Amino acid sequence: MGEMAQKIAKNDTIELLNILNMAFAEEWLAYYQYWLGAQLAVGPMRPSVADEFIEHANEELKHAQMLCNRIIQLGGTPVLNPDEWSHAASCKYDEPKDPYVMKLLEQNLTAERCAVARYQKICEMTFGKDYETFRISEKILKEELEHEQEIGDFIDDIQHTLQHKG
Ligand SMILES: [Fe+2]
Ligand SMILES: [Fe+2]
């Protein structure tokens, strides 16, 4: 824990730690959703989609790492038990019951939109008050927006390909 980190963070620390832990749990679920999707995917552009999923999975894991560091620095405890992930998370894990790439992409698009809203909220909470948490959430927000765009582009490309076939 960082004594100065807590002193200078002009926020309700309990409220902030709650939302940081929510985001932390969501990152683990997002990591797993992408990672599993990459293994299961079937359908058009599967190799490219699977590569993109793995790339995103690794970025979600880095986000979890950044959040974990900050939670500890602020004197909090990261969610200790994976059983708690789905309770702590507000962006829900969507089981990839149907491995068709378009279904997986749609599920991930929903998850990315939820993540964008989460970091937008954390940015708003910390702007001008807690510079370090703001810096971290702004960096993650940028990457979630890129993820959302990349997933959306895959959906458009696959739709376009399917429409112009035969
Ligand atoms: Fe993320
Ligand atoms: Fe993401």
Structural domains present in the chain: 8-163 (1.20.1260.10)
Looking at the CA of 61, name the nearest ligand. Answer: 1
Question: What is the structure's pLDDT at 10?
Answer: 66
Angle at 139 between CA 58 and CA 61, to 5 degrees: 20
Question: What is the structure's pLDDT at 3?
Answer: 77
Measured in angstroms, how far is the CA atom of residue 10 from the centroid of ligand 2?
Answer: 28
User: 19 to each of 4, 42, 126, how far by Cα in Å?
Assistant: 21, 35, 11
Per cent of the chain over pLDDT 70 is 97
Question: What is the structure's pLDDT at 8?
Answer: 72
- The predicted-structure confidence for 14-50, as pLDDT tens digits, reads as follows 999 999 999 999 999 999 999 999 999 999 999 999 9
User: Contact 20/71 with Cβ under 8 angstroms?
Assistant: yes
60 by DSSP, 3-state: which?
helix
Q: Which residues pair with 100 in a beta bridge?
A: 42
Provide the whole-model pTM. Answer: 0.93
Measured in angstroms, how far is the CA atom of residue 14 from the centroid of ligand 1?
Answer: 22
Measured in angstroms, how far is the CA atom of residue 143 from the centroid of ligand 1?
Answer: 7
